[in-house]
Structure 1
Amino acid sequence: MKFQYKYSIFIGFTILTLSACVTKKYERPQLNSDGLYRDNNTTDTTTMANLQWKSLFSDTTLQSLIQQGINQNLDLKQAIERIKIAEATLIQSRGALLPSLQADVNVTDNKASAAAQNFPAGININLETQTYKAQLSTSWEADIWGKLSSAKRGAYAALLQSDAAKRAVQTQLIATIANSYYSLLALDKQLAITEQTIKIRMQDVETVKALKEGAVVNGAAVVQSEANLYAAQVTLPDLKRSIKEAENALSIVLARAPGYINRTTLDQQSPYTNLQTGVSAQLLQNRPDVIAAEFGFRSTFENTNSAKAYFYPALTLTASGGLSSLQLRDFFSQSIFYNLVGGLTQPIFAKGQNKARLKTAEANQQIAFYTFQQTLLTGGQEVSNALYAYQTAAEKEETRAKQIASLTKAVDFTKELLRYSSATNYTDVLTSEQSLLTAQLSGINDRLQKLQSVVELYRALGGGWK
């Protein structure tokens, strides 16, 4: 017994040693993650990616829409189903390490041709026989070279990759809902400003007509004031259409029929200001698509290990046993049979299949490595772009407020001059009003850019799934 125990340990140790000679242990590839955030060399590891999304968005209406999206979005549901597929594949790969077991019960009736038998004359032999058979059979391949273990680890990496991909979908989903919501609020604001401008210009038309009757302006000023009114009115249909289309697009993201989206106003939004990025190396742990890319590389790494093992002998053990009899009455007496076979198969000529398998696996592994590297670089780019977008919007917002204040005074001054002085004409009023409307609409875009840049930074850092 002691000898058998020591012998078993020796065999196990030998198998592990041989496996280690063929397959390699996975190690994360060395990727330089330093300096991915341009002009941002902080050493503080505090990052807004660790915030829960409800802490980032203070608007409870927006919070409700995001929760609806997480519960109902069809892309997210598809990602969950892909996780189930990966789980099934992992279970299948684990099962390959275990022996298979089959049960077989059959009855065979066989009748030979008398004319085809070379029997002497007068010999009467029963040419019809029945065979009754019930057996269990099993087969097991010893994983000497780590082929099956590598396949199992590759399937596990693929499962983790699909889970990370699901988190990436959720992160993108939150950003999409928030950005669409803010765009809708911006359109509402643009519509309100345009409608207010139309009211003012309608009053201007009446004022200019009165000035014409008083011989202060001529007919050209009246026509110009009417044209100025029409220029504002003609933008209303497109704004209303854009609002409907934005509502429809957001409805689809929420997996519901196109319809009205409940919302607040742009003025009620308070953008998150504590924009902490952490260090760029944290993208490897926080950003789901980077995590998924690494697991994708790891899966192909194990596939390469498995492909190498095909060049080495495969040890297979098969066994079967059961009951077999020519007579049903004798089926349970003296009808036991069994066989046990151990075989070692060494590939010699496989039409180049093993070489092609290894070459394909190595190429896929290299592609996955490049994808991993590219995803990490893209993450750094998106973080930098979001930071610059926020800084730019903040600078524009401050300057734009001064521009709007000056243009508002310019409109008031030119209107007063038009009433009481011949030193100006309606063209000056028209120019100042158009400039004011343009500045007001641009100010809304500045505000929108600031809100959306915070969302994009949060997404780029890998926030939204924790």
Structure 2
Amino acid sequence: MKKYFSIKIPLILFSAFLLTSCMARETYERPKEVVNENLFRTDLLPKDSVSLATISWRDIFTDPVLQQHIAKALENNLDVRVALQNISAADSYLKQSKAAYFPTLSAGPNYTFQTQSLNTQSGQLLNQRKYGDQFDISANFGWEADIWGKLRAQEKAEVANYLGTVAAHQAVKSDLVAAVASTYYQLLTFDDQKRIINETISLRKKNLETTSALKDAGTLTEVAVQQSEALVFNAESLLINIDVQIALLENTLSLLLAEPSHAITRTTIDAQKMPVSLALGYPANLLANRPDVKAAEYRLMNAFEMTNAAKANFYPSLRLTGSGGIVSGDLDNLFSANSLFANVVAGLVQPILNKRQIRTQYEVSLANKEVAYLNFRRSVLTAGKEVSDALKIYQSQDSFISLKRKEGEAYRKSVDYSQELVNYGLANYLEVINASVNHLNAELNISNAEYSKLDAGVELYRALGGGWR
């Protein structure tokens, strides 16, 4: 009977600990107040169950040259490769957390030589020095029962950390696709503006020849000639600035491709098209599509589970330790059956005073959890703002471009009319100058507006969580 109770009672106590562990660890639930149907503004665009973000970037950016640049950037970009190494490191930590359930085990041979001091009590009694040898081959093991769910919480925290690095990798890819596309479109825009400026230079040189002829005929003065020449110099200086901007953008795109700076192959701005139909999806889709939002939630999950682990430190831990092997003072008898030894120790350890380390760790984990929650909430709100901003810009560009084109056409006609009037001596040449400057500015504004339309489409695609698939 005594033997029965000596076995039964520890089993009952251990079962009680396991039952209690179900109450020690809380289960993560996504904060309900973070996401609502008014996350981004969709006044003029109906929501859909399918989001633009679920479409592959190859279906959005159809320019084959741009596709080649994006594919190369995704393969070679250094930020993407760093993110992959972060995933590898997180995977190692995850494997370590899974291995925490297993016991520790170490083994090896040892040799001990011992002699006592003659100045000790035992040494003085023997009045002579004794020498002793000990040989042993032993193994030590230790195991801690996860009765409060601490190891389980740490494993879940590492799972969240791993998934967070995967989402961060996706976010890098999403940003990279958008950056390559935006830089490429900016290059095409500068190419278009370079064409406009070259045409303007040719036109202004012809006007300079006309002005010089009118001056020789006595219709205009040298002032008009100098002003016409100044307009040519002004356009040529703009051309130099455009060339500089093109070189800088080529260097930027080369960096995104992880290549030394070089000229970038490209098509034309007229060949670029963005999808006419835009499906935003429901606001809650941002949590599934936006990798940066997913990463923020995984950080919240990690902090939540680390709080569970910190809380479990307040409770007693059940540890099982032991050692065994063979030991002998004589090497010849080391492998004898009489040299075998073993010991096993099981015990509960309840922390009582430990310089407030456990309390501090728990309070810090609570603060970290609150910070992670606030960052998650901010990431969701930021995502909603970015969608609203990009959508507003994208929707307004068509009307803006249409008006700018009408403005440019009006200035072009004013240049022709004013030049004709000057030829007949019916107008001041300042009117030609003003009309020419305004016409060039209008043409450049049209080019910038067309780029803004494309860039807003890129930003809307990224803001909805696209580009990483």
**TM-score normalised by the shorter chain: which range applies?**
over 0.9
Paired residue for 1:276?
279
Q: In structure 2, give the amino acid aligned to 1:446.
A: A
Paired residue for 1:306?
309
Paired residue for 1:18?
20
| Whole-angstrom distance in 1 between the partners of 2:7 and 2:302 | 36
DSSP 3-state at the match of 1:338: strand
Partners of 1:114 and 1:127 within 8 A in 2? no
Residues 48-127 of structure 1: pairs in structure 2 closer than 5 A: 48-113=52-117, 117-119=123-125, 127=130
Deviation at 1:126, TM superposition (A): 7.5
| Whole-angstrom distance in 2 between the partners of 1:88 and 1:251 | 33
Paired residue for 2:203?
200
Residue 240 of structure 2 is aligned to residue 237 of structure 1: yes
- Counterparts in 2 of 1:120 and 1:409: CA distance versus 1, 3 Å: closer
Which of the residues 349, 356, 371 maps onto 2:353? 349
Paired residue for 2:455?
452
| Whole-angstrom distance in 2 between the partners of 1:358 and 1:126 | 55
Deviates more, 1:214-223 or 1:373-382: 214-223
Deviates more, 1:292-301 or 1:261-270: 261-270
Paired residue for 2:423?
419
Residue 467 of structure 2 is aligned to residue 464 of structure 1: yes
CA deviations 1:176-235 (Å, max 9, x no partner) are 000011111111111111111111111111111111222222222112111111111121
CA deviations 1:81-139 (Å, max 9, x no partner) are 01111111111111111101100210111233557523478xxx771111011111110
Poorly superposed stretches of 4+, deviation over 6 Å: 3-12
Paired residue for 1:46?
50
Q: In structure 2, give the amino acid aligned to 1:35.
A: N
Partners of 1:42 and 1:279 within 8 A in 2? no
Sequence identity percentage: 38
Deviates more, 1:263-272 or 1:14-23: 14-23
Residue 376 of structure 2 is aligned to residue 372 of structure 1: yes
CA deviations 1:294-348 (Å, max 9, x no partner) are 0000000000000101110010000111000011111111100000000110011
Residues 161-200 of structure 1: pairs in structure 2 closer than 5 A: 161-200=164-203
| Whole-angstrom distance in 1 between the partners of 2:420 and 2:126 | 136
- Counterparts in 2 of 1:360 and 1:86: CA distance versus 1, 3 Å: same
DSSP 3-state at the match of 1:382: helix
Residue 410 of structure 2 is aligned to residue 406 of structure 1: yes
- Counterparts in 2 of 1:64 and 1:146: CA distance versus 1, 3 Å: same
Which of the residues 421, 430, 433 maps onto 1:430? 433
Q: Which runs of 5+ in 1 are unaligned?
A: none
Deviates more, 1:102-111 or 1:345-354: 102-111
| Whole-angstrom distance in 1 between the partners of 2:453 and 2:132 | 89
| Whole-angstrom distance in 2 between the partners of 1:80 and 1:120 | 68
Partners of 1:160 and 1:295 within 8 A in 2? yes
Which of the residues 373, 389, 395 maps onto 1:385? 389
Which of the residues 443, 446, 451 maps onto 1:443? 446
Q: In structure 2, give the amino acid aligned to 1:431.
A: N
| Whole-angstrom distance in 2 between the partners of 1:113 and 1:164 | 65
| Whole-angstrom distance in 2 between the partners of 1:426 and 1:118 | 123
| Whole-angstrom distance in 2 between the partners of 1:131 and 1:141 | 31
Paired residue for 2:288?
285
Deviation at 1:33, TM superposition (A): 2.5
| Whole-angstrom distance in 2 between the partners of 1:402 and 1:42 | 31
Residue 256 of structure 2 is aligned to residue 253 of structure 1: yes
Partners of 2:156 and 2:302 within 8 A in 1? yes
- Counterparts in 2 of 1:290 and 1:7: CA distance versus 1, 3 Å: farther
CA deviations 1:406-447 (Å, max 9, x no partner) are 221111111111112x32121111111111100000001000
- Counterparts in 2 of 1:12 and 1:395: CA distance versus 1, 3 Å: farther
Q: In structure 2, give the amino acid aligned to 1:14.
A: A
- Counterparts in 2 of 1:385 and 1:5: CA distance versus 1, 3 Å: farther
Q: In structure 2, give the amino acid aligned to 1:78.
A: V
| Whole-angstrom distance in 2 between the partners of 1:257 and 1:248 | 8
Partners of 1:132 and 1:325 within 8 A in 2? yes
